[in-house]
Structure 1
């Protein structure tokens, strides 16, 4: 491929500077990739990785050359460090952990020698020397390093930091979440690290500095100001927040709380997020009084939509409600949104009871019998399928500006709130029904379920029973 490119450029008069494609390979879509074999004498220090291969995310040769040159400098420095120490990251991590364990065995915290000396307390140093003296009968180099704080600290690459983060730091934060919820937490973290590595290389974490953070920030900035397909500022800030969180959690876990955050004060301001508009009541009436409109949508999805209409529940709450939390044989039928083992609710205010009536009551009869079990822990599948069906069939109302406004299936929840306002339902009962935080002292339960049924039934909409056929 490289020979072909040289012949091509030569025939068309390209100069030799423009033809510098060392370690560069184009793919079918014109995007340049960095490709380089690792030296045989350090492959064992790189986890037996024989080559580096990754996209440079550009179709412009000059940009690819610049990114290649930047990476080559970082790669050369990293290889030099490996050759100097003769240790792989795994070797260094294992040695360091052995020293940490040695410190624990004599009931002290491992501290770097600089930290010990910076405390300026002679008794601290003397105590450590006494510990070393007491335990000198059996020579242990790890114990000496542990007490005196002279062990080489591992400096793992970003990809290995991510693995460590997912294995050691994150599990405690995930223990109450369902498998799907865990993936919603993990996947964005993998994504931001993957993007960072593509931009800056898989460099050691303690070598990451402000210039790397700015490179990442500027890459996001280019996406934010892209006129054709702009990235929302909220989304860009989430990217920054995610990677900052990984770095700070790793620093804290390893006792490096005093390190400066390379992403500090990097934030995007301005920009307007698209507002999700509520459906008008007349739109919902037309939808459920004319069954043919949604006849080709899967019955499971139609049931979830029907459950939405008179409860305003989040689709994740509907799809994961337990049958024993649906009470149909009481004078006032209701659904009880409660905490579940192995699954988080969005907020503590999400715990609530909602009366069931009209089309939503009929929907929950199906749900209690397992009709939407296919969506359990897969509420995003329902959302994706329903939104796709509505878009494909032109069912969403038109908006004035697609960059500022949009309709989604979630608009049903927004409509529920508006319909309560139109019916004159008290603001506290509205917030309680929506599962929103009430910003004042709470007294009582905001009325018994019977009272809430009486108030909310004012927003009921007639429907055609063929909706469920």
Structure 2
């Protein structure tokens, strides 16, 4: 690192890399190391150079008309300079000493890009992320939710989020998240009340929509650091006592489901899945996701292996061995 002494203070002096010429027209950059000790200066120089590179990278990201990218770049820029990004109103309420330090840095020769003011003085505007745009962002932000899932499991995980957002937009419109009010969410809740009465649905149907909508909005608000206060509390419906599902009698299964020709209208694999369910009680998705090596028909006791390989099982107890017999064995 090339360091030089100006007066009593050491400075880092280096040429501006060509890759950053579009955001910094200087031939070289001089950065104060804020120390009179050469040893300390040599320790600090690599770190401050790395921070300067981060600043240039943020400038490149901010050199765009995309509000989301510029907002993110302003935050990166502030962090690289050792400051926390704050909007203009919060900057105005800072202690005078910190406020002046930010202003001095923006006005210094080291700062040659409008992004400096955007990041340190809160000039970057909050991007107008609409509800539908939030859903697009959610898929990338919530990648942790799909780890280990099969393609079909990912598809089934995505669907209720899509449905919830589409329902919400159909009621209140595709508004920017910053414009959402408690009235919007109460209107959506009222819409669900009408559906529950009209279509004889259970409260669980509405609660699932509210849960998945909240998951999208909360994740985007948090991970994009929007700092919005979204009124998502106390919107759910009280669940009644769960109704006991009626069981199929042996006679009904034999005389109806297994009657000659009863399942001829089903596609062959769908018919096989239904028949495997009869004597195993497995979920349709578990059967459909079976891999060839999990189907053990030549063993002394034919069976299926349910394993979390290439997919995620619903619970820990879902990993199990399931013997095959009767119509389920025949179907396999």
* Fold shared per TM-score above 0.5: yes
- TM-aligned CA distance change 1:140 to 1:338, over 3 Å: same
Secondary structure of 1:276's aligned partner: coil
Partner residue in 2 for 1:437: none
CA contact 2:105–2:111 (8 Å) conserved in 1: no
| Equivalent residue for 1:336, pick from 291, 305, 309 | 305
Partner residue in 1 for 2:123: 150
Partner residue in 1 for 2:216: 246
Cα distance in 1 for partners of 2:106, 2:271 equals 75
Cα distance in 2 for partners of 1:204, 1:94 equals 17
Tell me by how many angstroms 1:138 deviates: 4.4
Alignment of 1:411-450 (within 5 A): none
**Cα displacement string for residues 282-309 of structure 1 (whole angstroms, at most 9, x for unaligned residues):** 2223357643433454443332222112
Cα distance in 2 for partners of 1:122, 1:314 equals 64
Partner residue in 2 for 1:180: 152
Tell me by how many angstroms 1:163 deviates: 2.3
Partner residue in 2 for 1:200: 172
Which consecutive unaligned segments of at least 5 residues does structure 1 have? 1-88, 365-469
- TM-aligned CA distance change 1:313 to 1:128, over 3 Å: farther
Q: Are 1:267 and 2:240 an aligned pair?
A: no
Secondary structure of 2:237's aligned partner: coil
**Cα displacement string for residues 432-464 of structure 1 (whole angstroms, at most 9, x for unaligned residues):** xxxxxxxxxxxxxxxxxxxxxxxxxxxxxxxxx
Secondary structure of 2:312's aligned partner: coil
Aligned residues between the structures: 269
Partner residue in 2 for 1:359: 327
Partner residue in 1 for 2:26: none
Cα distance in 2 for partners of 1:114, 1:122 equals 14
Larger RCO, structures 1/2 (Cα 8 Å, 6+ apart):
1
| Equivalent residue for 2:247, pick from 256, 261, 278 | 278
Tell me by how many angstroms 1:221 deviates: 0.9
- TM-aligned CA distance change 1:358 to 1:131, over 3 Å: farther
- TM-aligned CA distance change 1:185 to 1:90, over 3 Å: farther
Partner residue in 1 for 2:74: 99
CA contact 1:287–1:294 (8 Å) conserved in 2: no
Q: Are 1:236 and 2:209 an aligned pair?
A: no
| Equivalent residue for 2:191, pick from 212, 219, 222 | 219
Alignment of 1:3-22 (within 5 A): none
Tell me by how many angstroms 1:134 deviates: 11
Which consecutive unaligned segments of at least 5 residues does structure 2 have? 1-63
Cα distance in 2 for partners of 1:131, 1:350 equals 62
- TM superposition score normalised by structure 2: 0.69
Tell me by how many angstroms 1:242 deviates: 1.6
Q: Report the RMSD for the aligned CA atoms in angstroms.
A: 3.2
Cα distance in 1 for partners of 2:252, 2:324 equals 21
Tell me by how many angstroms 1:91 deviates: 4.2
- TM-aligned CA distance change 1:138 to 1:293, over 3 Å: closer
Tell me by how many angstroms 1:114 deviates: 4.5
Cα distance in 1 for partners of 2:331, 2:183 equals 55
- TM-aligned CA distance change 1:311 to 1:266, over 3 Å: same
- TM-aligned CA distance change 1:219 to 1:292, over 3 Å: closer
Cα distance in 1 for partners of 2:226, 2:192 equals 27
CA contact 1:233–1:272 (8 Å) conserved in 2: no
CA contact 1:310–1:357 (8 Å) conserved in 2: yes
**Cα displacement string for residues 251-290 of structure 1 (whole angstroms, at most 9, x for unaligned residues):** 1112246x43323101212556665322112222335764
Tell me by how many angstroms 1:108 deviates: 4.6
- TM-aligned CA distance change 1:327 to 1:238, over 3 Å: same
Partner residue in 2 for 1:451: none
| Equivalent residue for 2:318, pick from 347, 350, 353 | 350
Secondary structure of 1:284's aligned partner: helix
- TM-aligned CA distance change 1:104 to 1:270, over 3 Å: closer
**Cα displacement string for residues 15-73 of structure 1 (whole angstroms, at most 9, x for unaligned residues):** xxxxxxxxxxxxxxxxxxxxxxxxxxxxxxxxxxxxxxxxxxxxxxxxxxxxxxxxxxx
